[in-house]
């Protein structure tokens, strides 16, 4: 199994050698022969194979799947479709049938036209749901149909008549086209199909499908027809088909009012009169009018459109041709506010359009529950952190938004970012989702304290070890950053059920205790990225006053091995603290260290262990009876600093898996393990 790309993305494929003689590359639906050199020697990546954006163009072996020679005949044997489970046979046959059908349709695409029929009811339904535009072809009656291009349009008319139950004499047919100059307006009814063209083929009336944006992949041409049900004859000098939408300021909703045939040369006041009469509005009611010039999310050149790009104010005194209103154009009307001039009358429509431009649906999921189905909330791209948190708090039934904390998700890894958003975040949603962040998604946490208060706190992870120096569990405490370590000890004691006076905390790095924490040290002084902090019971005889009374001090005893015959020591496990006096030798210190491990001084296995004095990266092997106390005393820089010198004991790691809790923080280097070369 091979991966090509980088940690941010890429592609998987496989090299298989089923006969032991020939390698094959399996890449999705493509299978090809390759040389052994390609399959093996070229699958180790390359440091100089970075392409555009830092994405590696090299491929790397990811997984090896092997077959024992004794099992070879059972694995690489003759197989047929009948050897598959029944449900897989059915799935395979269905997939092959679909691929065959799609292949035939692609080869015959030049013989067919995709025909869509749009009715006024479907336009009204679309406007009620989407507000902007008229209708998408995929929502047309029966959806797009694949019709032979040689079929007569009159045959399509008969099908429409049968489907609607309306006599064909009451139908008018309009070809829906996109404006080459204004593609942002979408597909609209632009040309009437005269009776003289009813005998033409659908291919003659169709338009080429955009190879990029065309919805009909199995046809080269498309024909979308708007069916107008109207028995009235067209005016003698022709007419313009316009669609009229109504905005209700009380509900904030936009709906389809009607479609109208306006005589050429008429003014927009005719539309106002028609709407006033149809809606039963009082005489003297004044209306404001706009042209819908585009759709949010439509095909726009340049930057995203603003309100003025999508709605253009109109005056009732303007003639259709002067306002450049043509077939298929859309007008929006609403009651005008008292005393407001025409340019300001449409605050309702403009605010509605602003909402539609900036509206976005954001998903939220619990940070600590990957199985949480989450929830979705409609927000505005201009919303700031507080607005987002308030909306989520309202959905969750929380008393205050301040009890929520939001964290973004990396686009490529799909994991939460390390730093959650702060309560003082001023960026808008649109700004937050730039760069490498997953768009329209947040993880959330419900806090027991206001976020502003939590932000003044710091979480400290402590490793709790038993008296033998074996890992037991992690303890996480939260304290204000200006609090002393005494507060950390108190909270840890509460969680462990131990009185704080019986606990001590040590800073550990690379399996060695660096120093003991002083009670007056502030939480914000902790170096969480560098040290791991360990909490353990402090024996009464190891308290500072007890040690001072006996003239003793603590030293660091660490476990180690020599890996691969190298001279360097490789440390592992949790180190021990052992009291030492200036008169102590290796024998007395060794006995105390073994006692801490729960072993007698004459333990047979322990007698084989080697002991070293470790200082500044160098190990000095110690012989029995070597004086140690005075050397450790001279090396002490400060009372609680144990970093300068340590005692190391070489022995194999026989801990049970449950106790193998290694330090994986910054500064820890795992033991190097050997690898195998494939091929």
pLDDT of amino acid 464: 93
| Range 547-659 has CATH code 3.10.20.90 | yes
- 50: confidence class by pLDDT, cuts 50, 70, 90: very low
Between 669 and 89, name the one with better pLDDT: 89
Domain 109-229 has CATH 3.10.20.90: yes
With 0.85 as the threshold, say if the pTM is over it: no
* pLDDT class of 137 with cuts at 50, 70, 90: low
Q: How high is the pLDDT of residue 675?
A: 34
pLDDT score recorded for residue 430: 87
Winning range, highest mean pLDDT, from 82-91, 160-169, 564-573, 584-593: 584-593
Q: What is the pLDDT of residues 463-472, one digit of tens each?
A: 999 888 888 8
The residue-averaged pLDDT of 261-268 equals 90
Q: What is the pLDDT of residues 423-452, one digit of tens each?
A: 888 889 888 888 778 889 999 999 988 998
Q: What integer pLDDT is reported at residue 345 of this predicted model? A: 44
Q: Share the mean pLDDT of the chain.
A: 84
Q: Is the model's pLDDT at 549 over the cut of 60? A: yes
Q: Are 284 and 330 in contact, with CB atoms under 8 Å apart? A: no
Closest CA to 360 of 428, 292, 409: 428
The pLDDT score that the predictor gives to residue 178 is 78
> What is the model's pLDDT at position 71?
87
Residue 164: its pLDDT value, please? 79
Query: What b-and-e string marks burial along 599-621, b requiring 16 or more CB atoms within 10 Å of the CB?
Result: eeeeeeebeebebbbbeeeebee
Chain segment 517-526, per-residue pLDDT in tens: 998 999 989 9
Strands 2-6 and 112-118: unpaired
More confident position, 139 or 570? 570
Per-residue model confidence (pLDDT) at position 161: 86
Q: Is 41 helix (H, G, I), strand (E, B) or coil?
A: helix
On the question of pLDDT at 197 being above 60, the answer is yes
Name the nearest CA neighbour of 227 among 293, 149, 142: 142
pLDDT exceeds 50 at position 605: yes
Q: How confident is the model at residue 295 (pLDDT cuts 50, 70, 90)?
A: confident
**Which tens digit of pLDDT belongs to each residue from 492-504?**
999 999 999 999 9
CATH architecture of 239-345: Roll (3.10)
Max mean pLDDT range (162-176, 331-345, 355-369, 636-650) = 355-369
| Distance, CA of 610 to CA of 612 (rounded, Å) | 7
Q: Which residues contact 409 (CB under 8 A, 6 or more apart)?
A: 415, 416, 417, 437, 438, 441, 442, 443
What is the token pair recorded at 124?
């009204």
- Which pLDDT score, from 0 to 100, does residue 54 have? 43
User: If you average pLDDT over residues 78-92, what whole number do you get?
Assistant: 86
Laid out side by side, the sheet with 441-446 consists of 375-380, 359-366, 441-446, 404-407
Per-residue pLDDT for 578 more than 60? Answer: yes
Query: What residues form DSSP beta bridges with 648?
Result: 558, 612
For residue 663, what pLDDT is reported?
A: 41
pLDDT in tens, 646-676: 999 999 988 777 666 654 333 333 333 333 3
pLDDT band at 397 (very low <50, low <70, confident <90, very high): very high
CATH 3.10.20.90 segments of the chain: 109-229, 239-345, 358-454, 547-659
pLDDT at 198: 92
The number of helices, as runs of H, and strands, as runs of E, in the chain is: 17, 30
As a whole number, mean pLDDT of residues 44-60 equals 55
How sure is the predictor about 25, in pLDDT bands with cuts at 50, 70 and 90?
A: very high
Q: What is the mean pLDDT of residues 137-149?
A: 71
Is domain 358-454 in CATH 3.30.1330.10, yes or no?
A: no
Which pLDDT does position 8 carry in this prediction?
67
Check: CB of residue 482 under 8 Å from CB of residue 522: yes
451, 404 contact by CB (below 8 A): yes
pLDDT value at 150 more than 60? yes
| pLDDT digits 0-9 by tens, 300-348 | 555 677 888 889 999 989 999 999 999 999 999 998 864 444 444 445 8
| pLDDT tens, residue by residue, 239-264 | 899 999 999 988 888 999 999 999 98
Place 538 in a pLDDT band, splitting at 50, 70 and 90. very high
């Amino acid at each position: 199994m091979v991966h090509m790309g980088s940690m941010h993305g890429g592609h998987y494929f496989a090299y298989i050698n089923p006969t032991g003689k020939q390698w094959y590359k399996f890449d999705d639906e493509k299978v090809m022969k390759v040389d052994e050199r390609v399959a093996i020697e070229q699958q180790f990546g390359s440091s100089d194979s970075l392409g555009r954006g830092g994405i590696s163009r090299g491929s790397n072996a990811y997984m090896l799947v092997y077959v024992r020679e004794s099992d070879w005949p059972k694995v690489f044997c003759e197989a047929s479709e009948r050897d598959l489970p029944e449900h897989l046979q059915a799935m395979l046959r269905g997939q092959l049938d679909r691929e065959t059908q799609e292949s035939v349709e692609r080869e015959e695409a030049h013989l067919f036209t995709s025909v869509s029929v749009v009715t006024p009811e479907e336009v009204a339904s679309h406007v009620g749901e989407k507000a902007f535009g008229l209708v998408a072809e995929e929502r047309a009656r029966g959806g797009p149909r694949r019709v032979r291009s040689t079929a007569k349009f009159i045959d399509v008319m008969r099908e429409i008549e049968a489907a609607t139950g309306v006599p064909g004499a009451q139908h008018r047919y309009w070809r829906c086209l996109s404006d080459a100059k204004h593609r942002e307006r979408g597909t609209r009814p632009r040309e009437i199909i005269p009776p003289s063209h009813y005998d033409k083929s659908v291919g003659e009336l169709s338009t080429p499908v955009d190879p990029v944006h065309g919805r009909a992949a199995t046809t080269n041409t498309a024909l979308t027809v708007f069916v107008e049900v109207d028995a009235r004859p067209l005016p003698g000098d022709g007419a313009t088909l316009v669609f009229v939408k109504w905005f209700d300021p009380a509900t904030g909703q936009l709906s389809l009012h009607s479609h109208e045939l306006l005589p050429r040369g008429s003014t927009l006041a005719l539309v106002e009169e028609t709407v006033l009469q149809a809606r039963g509005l009082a005489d003297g009611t004044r209306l404001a009018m706009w042209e819908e010039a585009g759709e949010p999310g439509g095909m726009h050149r340049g930057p995203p459109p603003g309100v003025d790009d999508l709605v253009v104010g109109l005056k009732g005194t303007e003639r259709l041709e002067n306002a450049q209103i043509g077939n298929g154009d859309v007008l929006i009307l609403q009651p005008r506010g008292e005393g407001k001039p025409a340019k300001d009358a449409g605050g309702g429509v403009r605010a509605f359009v602003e909402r539609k431009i900036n509206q976005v649906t954001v998903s939220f999921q619990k940070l600590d529950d990957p199985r949480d189905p989450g929830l979705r909330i409609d927000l505005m791209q201009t919303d700031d952190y507080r607005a987002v948190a308030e909306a989520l708090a309202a959905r969750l039934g929380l008393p205050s938004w301040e009890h929520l904390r939001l964290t973004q998700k990396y686009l490529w890894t799909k994991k939460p970012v390390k730093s959650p958003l702060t309560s003082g975040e001023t960026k808008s949603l649109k700004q937050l989702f730039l760069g490498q962040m997953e768009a329209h998604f947040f993880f959330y946490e419900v806090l027991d304290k206001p976020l502003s208060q939590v932000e003044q706190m710091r979480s400290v992870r402590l490793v709790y070890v038993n008296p033998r120096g074996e890992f037991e569990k992690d303890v996480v405490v939260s304290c204000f950053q200006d609090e002393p370590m005494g507060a950390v000890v108190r909270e840890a004691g509460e969680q462990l059920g131990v009185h704080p006076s019986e606990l001590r905390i040590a800073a550990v790095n690379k399996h060695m205790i660096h120093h003991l924490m002083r009670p007056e040290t502030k939480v914000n002084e902790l170096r969480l990225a560098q040290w791991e902090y360990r909490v353990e019971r402090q024996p009464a005889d190891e308290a500072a006053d007890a040690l001072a009374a006996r003239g003793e001090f603590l030293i660091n005893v660490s476990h180690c091995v020599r890996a691969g015959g190298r001279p360097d020591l490789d440390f592992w496990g949790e180190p021990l603290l052992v009291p030492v006096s200036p008169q102590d030798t290796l024998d007395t210190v060794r006995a105390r260290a073994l006692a801490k491990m729960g072993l007698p001084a004459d333990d047979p296995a322990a007698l084989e262990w080697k002991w070293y004095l470790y200082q500044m990266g160098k190990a000095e092997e110690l012989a029995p009876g070597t004086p140690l106390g005075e050397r450790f005393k001279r090396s002490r820089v400060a009372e609680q600093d144990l970093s300068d010198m340590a005692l190391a004991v070489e022995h194999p790691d026989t801990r049970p898996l449950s106790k193998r809790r290694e330090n994986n923080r910054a500064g820890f280097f795992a033991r190097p393990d050997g690898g195998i070369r494939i091929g």
